[in-house]
Structures are given as structure tokens and as C-alpha cells.
Chains A and B, each alone.
Chain A
């Protein structure tokens, strides 16, 4: 219908601007401006040359790339079986296994890093193997979600037809299934590559001093060496690389896109051998995903090799073996700080996210700009965000980098897209006649919008709030740049404690990581893991 024709039922003109004003302004001030500042710093070519020629930068670039490639390949290979199982078969415990596979993806990177420190023997710490292993653990969920959901709707007749033509199962896989799955495989590969390329927490905890990704190097230069210019150069370089990868993979995916009709074709295992393979595969997956978590909790209950609750009991205290010395962080205080920040970040994310989603839904075509804009912080590494904020807000009247609220705000930047993603589909799914029905019952257009659309946001906003809280609790990259002494968050505290070789501080770090793990997992599971397929029922 022409816009004209709905003239009598249209929302007042001020609604869209009122809705998008705050999100758009926030995006401009706290994202675009910092990124622009980073770019401006890098315009001095001398810095670029100096940094790129500095010793070790080439090695960092090389390591970042090859570990990302290796992690991606391994994730694709190792995630294959779980994706297949969970996509094509129905079995008892399927929901639990799905949750077990997905939860690691939502865990804070420091928790994953700590879990692998608990899992791997000491000799493996600081190795590239540890880093890659942790990456695979993290990202199997991507395979299961992206490839699995496509596999689930692969028409079973196609494979059946190939079999009747004489193809063995292996040939079916190679010539029918894999080519058909290509778009999903590409999507999964790009996502995993991007995540592992920009990996920070995992590499910082597991990579030791010898292995650093670009992100870790950016942090080192800015925070330890005092070379903020060099850090900016690396950030921009990374942005360019990421942009190229995203653009290239999007092109590739578009060309390979195919569509299937029909619903999911999930079935139970038919005969004993199938059931045995299924059980074996499911168990292997379960063990692979659960082992690091279980060991993390177990190690938090051990001090120096024997079982003890001392790590937990001493969380409130601060001293180590010598009187007067301290750990540098106060575990209980950091827990409280994290919770406070999470609360504030949650409120900001929910409010701004609701405003943005409503505005985008009402503004239709023009809303896509805000939608895309709000997704940008997700594509920018958290470290770059933190660095950008650090170097931008350092002069009056914008002297905000040391204010307490800049940290939850940074968290919100990353969480708002999740809130929008969980509320926008709900808004868009509301039939346009719902508003008309309310209007015909006497509600003004504005009132009808509130009654029929906004009131239905309660549930998705609750889910979004949960995500925001989980993201804030676990955020590490940006917080590293903005953290203030005495107000460290849990991830920062874990990072500081984990580096210690002493038994007690280490155990305390594992205990804190366990707390973070439990809280995050609880929030994520409660907030309804997104992407339930039909086969779940």
C-alpha cells in the first residue's frame, strides 16, 4: 500500500526520531568516533612504517593467521560428527547434548582459557596446541548451529537417490552431501576464522609469552610498552584484514547459496549398529565438551595436588604466603564489581536495544541503516573498541575514559546487537492487522503500537537482558583497556591470578572461573538458547 493510504493510522512523525535518537547518537559517539580517532592516528605513515618493521610484528601476524586457519580446519573436521548427530537424529538426551555443545560458545574467553589450563598438563601451557584446542572447543557450537541446521533440512530423498544409483556412504558424503552443505560450511568457516583470528582471552591465558595474536600484541603495546600509536596501527591493520575476509566470504556464500523446501527430516536410529555408532558419537562429543569444564571445577577444589576447599574459603581474603603481600586483586571485590557492571550494562542494553529495535521495525527500509550500524561493534574486535575509547575520551569535556560507567557502556556496545537480534524478529512477526485491530477497538495509533507490539517485547527483552548480563560478566578484551585498579572485573582478576605458579592463587583463579562459568551458563540456558529446531519437540 502506498504510504499515503495509511495516513489515518500512521504513528506520529516524532516516533521514529524519538526512538532512534539515543541508539544512533550512542553509536556515533561511542563507536564511530573512537574508530575514527584510531584511523586518524594511523594517518601518520611514519608510525605505520615503524610499527610494521618492528621486530616480532611479522611473527605475530603469521601466528595469528596460521593458528586461525588451523583452528578453523580442525573445528570443521571435529565438529562434523556432532553436527551430523544433532541434526539428523533424535535420541534421548539430545537436548542436553545440544546445550552442552552450545554453552561453551557463550562462555567468557577467560573461563575457556582457565578450563584448558586445568585440563592440559603444565608442559602444554604456553603452546600453540593449547590455543588451537581451546579454539576448537569454543567453536564446535558454530558447526552444530550453522551446518547442523542446514543438514537437518537436507531432503533425505537426495541421499536416497544417490544410494540407489550405487553410491557408497562415503561417496554420498563426498559428492552429494558436502557440495550441498557448502554454503553452511563456508559460513561456519568464516565465522570460526573471524573469531579465532581476533582471539584475545584464550591466547592471553594459554599462549604464554611466546605466542601472541594481533589482539594480544595490541594490548601489550598499548598497556605495557606504552606504544599506543603502534597499537593503533595494528588495530587498523586487523580491521582491514577482517573487512576483506568478511567481504570475500560473503561473496563466496552468495554464489554458493541453494535453498531447500520441506521441513526437517530427523529420525531415530534404526538398527542396532546405527544405534551403537550414534551412542559412541554422542558420548565422544559429550566428553569432548564436558571434560574441560569438569576439570576446571575439579581443579578449583585442589590446592597443590590434594583436595581442599581452601581456594574457595580464601576468596574473601587477600594474603598469600608472606604477611603483608597481597595478590594484587581482591577476589570478592572483583565479583561484586562484575555484578554491578553487569547490572548497569544490562539496563543500558535493554533500554537502548528496545529503542533501537522498535525504531528499526517502524522505520522499515531506513531502519536497516541503524540495524547494520549497531552490528558494527560486533564485527570490530573488543580490544580495538577498548583502545579506541581509551584514546578518544581523554580530554575535557569528554574526559570519560576513567569514569566508572565507561566500562558497562563498552559492554553494552557489544550486547545491544544481541538485544536487537532477539527483539526485532518478534516485532517483525507481528501481523500488521494486529495494530489495525487495536485501532478499530478505539486505540490511537500510538496506543495501539504500545498495546500490540511493545508489550510483546517483554519476553524477548528478558532473553536479551540475560545475554547482555552474560556478555558483560565475561567481557575481557575491552575491559582490559579501561579497567581501574581496585575495581577489576572477574575476568581481569582471573587473568591476574592465573599467571601465578603458586598453588593457592591458581586455585583461587579456578574458583573464580567456576563462579563465572556457572553464572554465565545459568543465564544462557535460562534465556532460551536461540535457534531451536523443530526436531526439539
Chain B
């Protein structure tokens, strides 16, 4: 009968669809010949740069294909790793930095201790041309940023989701101290240009980082979720950006990046760095706990710290390689700014107070 045939065909179609979908879904998670998955933040290039060429060389030499998966900004990446610890999204994770390292290790995401792979400084960058055109001197210190001449000019990243954002917040904590936790935690007052904690030497009535951010907010600071958005879309000094903010929280190595990517080529960096606003950031890579390709992961780790890979870091990720034997490119040496005494906060303090600081910041700046 017609009805029987139609039902039969429908069932067959359904069964076929199920079979295909199962195969397709399974197929996407298994790998053919040896492969390893590298989990990194969004700004890690997936293709098209010498960094990727280096990884291709790795594949050629070892026969292990490298699959790059980006997991958002560093904060999101770490949190996702914590929530999936033991069942990671990849085999090796690149890019957890010292501000988030304790969150990562507390969350037991690593199979073995992570290794530091690079470092850099998070600093406020400024658009030279903009400030020249407007006849204002670019800011040099954190105190400057709350001044009226820099109203509505600064864009920062949300410290809850972005690691440069968190680094900048920590810089302000290092400089101005914590209004709620007092001076008991002495290490928050460590090395930093400018005054130390809330012991009365306050400029503009700012006695704590909470006060500072209240002033920043009053001074029209704009907050976005990630460095990508802040730098490539909001910052007026970035090539190809249509943004209108001449001040952004970025890296001490961003100016050389502008020189490298300039098209048509230029020979002076269009952006500068306010050296007294910097926070030292160290990035780590590590094998993720629960990885199913430990052998391949170890080989990749070895490669990541080898000079073959490390030498590509300055011009592609714009960080300083941990491998001190690597010769830095000239453009890097010429235009990157390395502060003498960047701000620093002890990992233990970060571990104890990070969540609380992030929450307070959200309250003060966003709500």
C-alpha cells in the first residue's frame, strides 16, 4: 500500500540522516595520522604568518599536524579550561599569563608545570599624530590619565575577560593600593614608579585603586571586552582602524607592530608608549591535563620553547621571547619600549583577591 511505502521511506531517510550526522560529528573529533591541538587566545594567528610557517616546519619534521583552536580572550580561555579540566579542548595551551596563572593552576588544567614562553609589558599606547594635531602632550603616567586634558580619550579592556585589561587594573592596584584590603598585604606596594600604597601621599584625592577608577570613569573611559576590539577597532593609531580614541591599553611592543604592518611602509612608529603605566606580563604554555596525545604534546612543547619558534615571536605576537639567545629584530629594538620598573603584583595576592578585584571593578566602572 502507498502508506506503507511512504512510512518505510521516511524511516530510511531518518536512519540515514542519523547515521550521517553521527559519522560527521564523530569524524570531527577524531584525528587521522598524528595530530595535536594547540589552544590559544583569539589574537594567536591561525594561518598566514611566519609563526604558522614555523609550526608547519614542526609538522614536516615530526609528522604531527598542529591544529589551532582559539578560545576567546585569555580570561575566557582560562575559565573555559578550568570548567573543562580533565577533558580539555586541546592538548597544549598557549598564553596563560602571570595574572591568571593561579586561576589556571588552582583549576588543575595542566598535566605538568607550565613553562614560560614569552613576556611583555602592558602599557598605555598613544597615537602620536592625534596628539600633535590637537596640540596636547601625550600622557606619561597613570595620574595623567584622570586629568581633564585626556577626557574621553582612553579605551581599556574589561579585566574580567581580557588579560591586558587585568594587567592594567593590577598596575593601578600596584600604584594606588587597595582601599578595602588595606596595607596588610605589603606586596601590593612593590616596585612601581610613583607612590606606593594608601599612606596619605595621594594626588587628586586618590587614595586607592577604587578611587582611581571612579575618576577614570568620570573622565570618560570606554570599556570593551577584548584587546582585539580595543586596539584594531577603537584605537585611532592602529593601521586600518576607524577608531577615534588616541589612548589604548596595549603592549609595549605595539609600536613596532605598527611599523611592521604599515602599508605603505613607514620608518617611524606612529604610536608611542607611556612608560610609567606598564605592567609586566609573562606568558606560559603547558600540556593540558587529560590530553589524549601526550607524546605529541610534549614534542610540541619542546618546539614552542625552541629558538626556531621563539625567533618568530617578536614580529608576530609582539612579545619578547623567553629564550634569551634569540636575536631581536631591529625594528623591535628600535621602537619597542621596555620600562625600567614596570608595576608588579605578587601571584599570591592575585590568587587571593583577583575575583574580588574584578567584581569591585565591574561595580565601579560598569554599573
Chain A residues packing against B (C-beta within 8 Å): 54-56, 59, 209-210, 220, 222-228, 304, 318-328, 340, 343-344, 347, 350, 390, 394, 399, 401-402, 404-405, 455, 458, 484-487, 496, 499-503
* A501 in contact with B84 (CB, 8 Å): no
* A328 in contact with B25 (CB, 8 Å): no
Chain B residues packing against A (C-beta within 8 Å): 3, 6-7, 10, 14, 17-18, 20-22, 24-26, 28-29, 39, 42-43, 45-49, 51-52, 69-72, 75-76, 79-80, 82-84, 86-90, 103, 107, 158, 160-161, 223-225, 228-229, 232-234, 239-243, 261, 316, 355, 358-360, 362-363, 366-367
The residue on B at minimum CB distance from A210 is: B366
* B86 in contact with A322 (CB, 8 Å): no
Question: Taking chain B's interface residues, is the majority helix, strand, or loop, or is none over half, making it mixed?
Answer: helix
Tell me the complex Cα distance, A196–B80, Å: 28
* B82 in contact with A226 (CB, 8 Å): yes
Chain B CB within 10 Å — which of A304, A322, A399 has the most? A322
Given A225-B359, A487-B28: A323 and B103 interface contact (C-beta under 8 Å): no
Q: Which residues of A contact B83 (CB under 8 A)?
A: 222-223, 228, 390, 401
Tell me the complex Cα distance, A501–B17, Å: 39
CB-CB nearest 8 A-B residue pairs: A324-B45, A402-B87, A321-B240, A324-B49, A328-B42, A55-B363, A485-B71, A486-B69
A14 to chain B, nearest CB (A): 22
Q: Which residues of B contact A499 (CB under 8 A)?
A: 224-225, 229
- The listed residue (B46, B80, B239) touching A223 by CB distance below 8 A is B80
Q: Which residues of A contact B87 (CB under 8 A)?
A: 394, 399, 401-402
Question: Taking chain A's interface residues, is the majority helix, strand, or loop, or is none over half, making it mixed?
Answer: loop
Tell me the complex Cα distance, A402–B288, Å: 14
* B367 in contact with A59 (CB, 8 Å): yes
* B80 in contact with A485 (CB, 8 Å): yes
Given A227-B355, A347-B18: A501 and B233 interface contact (C-beta under 8 Å): yes
A22 to chain B, nearest CB (A): 15
Tell me the complex Cα distance, A457–B362, Å: 53
A223 to chain B, nearest CB (A): 6
Chain A CB within 10 Å — which of B6, B225, B232 has the most? B232
* A304 in contact with B39 (CB, 8 Å): no
The residue on B at minimum CB distance from A402 is: B87
Given A56-B367, A484-B89: A224 and B75 interface contact (C-beta under 8 Å): yes
Tell me the complex Cα distance, A336–B48, Å: 24
Q: Which residues of A contact B366 (CB under 8 A)?
A: 209-210
* A402 in contact with B84 (CB, 8 Å): yes
- The listed residue (A321, A404, A486) touching B25 by CB distance below 8 A is A404
A537 to chain B, nearest CB (A): 26
* B45 in contact with A343 (CB, 8 Å): no
A409 to chain B, nearest CB (A): 12
- The listed residue (B17, B243, B316, B355) touching A225 by CB distance below 8 A is B355
* B367 in contact with A458 (CB, 8 Å): no
